[in-house]
Structure 1
Amino acid sequence: MKESPGVVDLLGVLAYAELSAYARMTEDAASLAPSLADRTALSELAVAEYGHFRLLHGRLVELGADPEAAMSPFVEALDAWHAQTAPADWLQALVKAYVGEGIAFDFYREAARLLDPSIAKLVDEVLADEGRSEFAVERVRAGLAADPVAAGRLALWARRLVGEALSQGQRVAAARPELARMLAEAESDDQAEISRMFARLTEEHNKRMAALGL
């Protein structure tokens, strides 16, 4: 039996998000990494993202869905987000991977908790950190120690990333109303839980900013 369109949409947007993360990290590793060690580390994280994509791809097939068809409605919205938040340097690239994609992935993780436990477990697995946080925090803190003036610039960049991530969410919902409807129906019975969810998203974002020293 095929899964509901909303679930397929959630896995589809996540699959394309992971595929995009793999592509962007690979590109940033080649063009922005200041050392071979940094290029190697970011490339290894990119490989982990591709592994997550393959897990989602496989689950979509198991559900009787066409992975390409499941991803295609979200290509324009996610590509637009990446184009609008293209990093200008290495530190911006790290903040984007840690803060910008972090808040988006947190939302998808929260959304999955409203669904079948098996789906939630898969989403938790594919959104596992894989060392991204430690790598980004270590490199950004080192960069700020070498150039403290960069803190203000990066804080502004982080705020822009969050704003663009929220806009991305609106574009994703517009692309597939079934996904928005499924989440709305799941949340409708408990408005307090919605408030708690956004409180958790905000708390996690603030923790990331603090970890970076921003």
Structure 2
Amino acid sequence: MTTGLEPDLRPSYLEHRAMRIDAGRLTALVSAAQPDDADRLSALGSWYAGYEGAIHDHHTAEEAVIYPALLERDPSFAEADAELEGEHRVLADRLEVARQSLERLPSAAGGGRWERERDEDVRATQALEAILATHLPHEEEVAFSRYRQAFTSDEFADLGKAAWKVVGTRAIVFAGPWVLDHATEQERAETLAAQPWLVRVVYRLALRPRYERLARPLRSTPPLRARRTEA
């Protein structure tokens, strides 16, 4: 067991929050979709590519850097490690199925396949919500608790830098503003204050505006209409 300040896990919790909230928003969006929303659904594909990629990068970093380092410090993590990586595989599959369903839906607008394709997309996004509801609390319980015991703040920060080298700039270009989009004003201010001046400038002038353009189909107004109740 190491000594010193505990790791700052707030960014990790924020990532989990963003994953859960946006999976729910996707289900709500698709559930309410009507054929004349096809353009908006099609435009959502670029945002979803970033969302799927950010989750993939998150888990790649864990499996390549964080989990092995934790296992070296705490061999009791071995069983949980296997369980979490198995959940990652399920999550990757459900992300892919949701993407494929979302890609098919706009082309079904105005045709006889619309209702069926929309219902399949709803089931796909609900399945994505379900695995996130299982995996994220599990990871927080069995891994996050061990991070606090196994690493100092500086050690965990060094692991974060090593993880960033594995996943590359996409971890900043999309995931940075995506995660901060789900932060409170105080959380956002504290997170940005911890970043170098240049990163803060790039976020405000480039990354955040780019993310806002990508996310517009997810939350633009007026909202998608609720389904009409069949008589």
State the TM-score bracket (shorter-chain normalisation).
0.3 to 0.5
Q: TM-score, normalised by structure 2?
A: 0.40
Larger Rg: 2
When normalised by structure 1's length, the TM-score is 0.43
